[in-house]
Amino acid sequence: MSLFLNKKTAVFLALVVPFFSPISAFAAGVPNNLLSDHELVDSAAMSLTQLQSFLMQKSSSLAYYYAPDVDGVTKTAAEIISRAATTYTISPKFLLALLQREQSLVEAKRPTQGQYDWAAGFAVCDSCAKDDPDVIPWKGFAKQVEGAARQIRNRYLPDLETKGTTISGIGPGITKDIDGTPVTFANKATSVLYTYTPHLHGNINFVNIWQRWFSLHYPDGSLVQVAGSKDIWRIANGEKRKFSSKSVFLSLFSEKDILPISQADVDAYTEGTGMRFPNYSLLQSASGDLYLLDGDAKRKIASMDVFRKLGFNPDEIEEATEDDLVAYTDGPLLSLESSYPRGALLQDKKTGGVYWVQDGQRYPIWSKEILNTRFPKKPITQASTDQLAEYPSGAPVSFRDGQLIGATGKPTVYVIEHGMRRPIADETTFHHFGWQMKNIIWTDEKAVNIHPLGDILEDTSTDAPISAARAE
């Protein structure tokens, strides 16, 4: 039995609208870094079958377009693109994005013959006429795709390798004025794109196309890390937040929950305020207000008298900036009535039931899996039924955002986001996000159903093979 929803069954009723809008290219760290070098030359990024499938999914006119290739044989657009990508070791994804950037050709509903003839904008400079004798030889869909791929592979990249710059004087580490904006080219791929099109708007458009088609947008709460990097990020509200240290990370999460991510996918997110403090840190603002950090919330302490009577240690107070504090939501006020302000696990001696007790309220824990994942290092204190009855009962404790869960014996796997369980559409989506079977927490159905059912999560980027950064 499949562990995922199956699009061929009645369970999967409709395609899901992407839950993030395309991320602004300016916010993603361009114009200095448009694309990674690997993404430019990854000729195996899409097979011919996957390329044709991508065009079909986009309802692209290119899915049904035939033209003579450079060898004179009539082929499909997918075959022409795939052949050029393989011949010149250029990513077919790159060529697709280039065709869209230059002539809107992938998504145009009724392209003109001129859009096909000048598909990649190759050999057509700002001051060139299309009937120029030097330009005319490059007219035609296949010649355009061939010309673009060959120019990059045989001219731009060798020049960057041997001279450090292209014929335009553009290269990694060099700063030039592009349409009034100083741009420092971060790598070879960025240098190639600015050499091909020396304008800011066109390259920003390329990045937006790339991100919309090929970048993954992770569910809120996801913990991600690029292979070989020490930086760990948390995705929240469409931003990436970096942990300042491993100890800060471990005060909240476990290393087994980290997902591999490509540098390009990390770069697609705006960087938010870093996570500098461990959980349950005591912080003081510039105005003197005191706070206790509790997960994603900051809880204001009513007064210094309350601070002392709750048993906090003044030596633990750390100074925090307004930027540090604004990154946390406002939690309940801590007052003298706030018993167990940092929370405690109490177990009923008679029934064996375990509760999370905080601020004078008890929250039942319905499965050992929730207990182990939410409170792995918390000691459990025995309590009588009468003692527990002193605390009003609240909602059951749920799994944390970003975690994968499933009910034992049931086929569907879910990811938790904003407290809801989102069914994962299929195995392709599962692997594209970098999840592994060991990441799934199997629990009982009652614990799964604590979380309201959310939208199905489907990878809308592409059916491309799993990249090295996402492979198991």
pLDDT of 38 strictly over 90 = no
Which structure tokens are listed for 376?
């792995």
CA 388-393-395 angle, 5° bins: 135
pLDDT of 60 strictly over 60 = yes
Instruction: Provide the whole-model pTM.
Output: 0.58
Q: What is the pLDDT of residue 177?
A: 94
Q: Which helix H or strand E contains 294, and what residues bound it? A: strand 290-294
Q: What is the pLDDT of residue 14?
A: 26
Cβ atoms of 78 and 85 closer than 8 Å: no
- Which DSSP symbol is given to 61? G
Q: Which residues, 6 or more positions from 292, have their beta carbon under 8 angstroms from its beta carbon?
A: 280, 281, 282, 283, 298, 299, 301, 312, 334, 341, 342
The C-alpha atoms of residue 177 and residue 171 are separated, in whole angstroms, by 13
Which structure tokens are listed for 34?
């448009």
Least confident stretch, 78-92, 207-221, 307-321: 207-221
Which structure tokens are listed for 221?
């709460």
Mean pLDDT across the chain, nearest whole number? Answer: 87
Q: What is the pLDDT of residue 57?
A: 87
The C-alpha atoms of residue 230 and residue 227 are separated, in whole angstroms, by 8
How are beta strands 282-284 and 317-319 bridged, if at all? parallel
What angle do the packed helices 92-103 and 141-151 form, to 10 degrees? Answer: 120
Cβ atoms of 191 and 171 closer than 8 Å: yes
* Cβ neighbour number for residue 324 with a 10 Å cutoff: 20
- Which DSSP symbol is given to 104? -
The upper half-sphere exposure of residue 319, i.e. CA atoms within 13 Å in the direction of its Cβ, equals: 3
β-bridge partners, 74: 68
Distances, alpha carbon 423 to alpha carbons 447, 452, 456, 459, in Å: 15, 11, 5, 12
Q: Which residues, 6 or more positions from 104, have their beta carbon under 8 angstroms from its beta carbon?
A: 111, 115
C-alpha 84 chain-centroid distance: 30
Which structure tokens are listed for 450?
């604590």
User: Stretch 196-203: mean pLDDT, rounded?
Assistant: 93
Least confident stretch, 80-84, 133-137, 313-317, 454-458: 133-137
Q: What is the pLDDT of residue 368?
A: 96
CA 351-354-357 angle, 5° bins: 130
pLDDT of 24 strictly over 90 = no
Q: What is the pLDDT of residue 469?
A: 33
Which structure tokens are listed for 365?
């824990």
Place of tokens 């899409």: 46
Q: Phi, psi at residue 370, to the nearest 5°?
A: -65, -45
Residues in the chain: 472
How are beta strands 344-348 and 380-383 bridged, if at all? parallel
Cβ atoms of 313 and 280 closer than 8 Å: no
C-alpha 368 chain-centroid distance: 30
**Predicted confidence (pLDDT) per residue in 432-470, tens digit:** 888 999 999 999 999 999 999 988 987 655 443 333 333
Q: What is the pLDDT of residue 117?
A: 94
Which structure tokens are listed for 11?
């369970």
The C-alpha atoms of residue 300 and residue 289 are separated, in whole angstroms, by 7
How are beta strands 223-226 and 420-423 bridged, if at all? unpaired
The C-alpha atoms of residue 18 and residue 21 are separated, in whole angstroms, by 7
pLDDT of 108 strictly over 80 = yes
Which structure tokens are listed for 466?
């799993």
Which structure tokens are listed for 342?
């940092």
The upper half-sphere exposure of residue 112, i.e. CA atoms within 13 Å in the direction of its Cβ, equals: 4
Which structure tokens are listed for 32?
């200095």
Q: Which amino acid is at 128?
A: C
Three-state SS for 340-366 is CCCCEEEEECCCCCEEEEECCEEEECC
Q: What beta strand segments (E) does 243-377 contain?
A: 258-261, 270-271, 282-284, 290-294, 297-300, 317-319, 329-330, 344-348, 354-358, 361-364
Q: Which residues, 6 or more positions from 80, have their beta carbon under 8 angstroms from its beta carbon?
A: 67, 69, 141, 142, 145
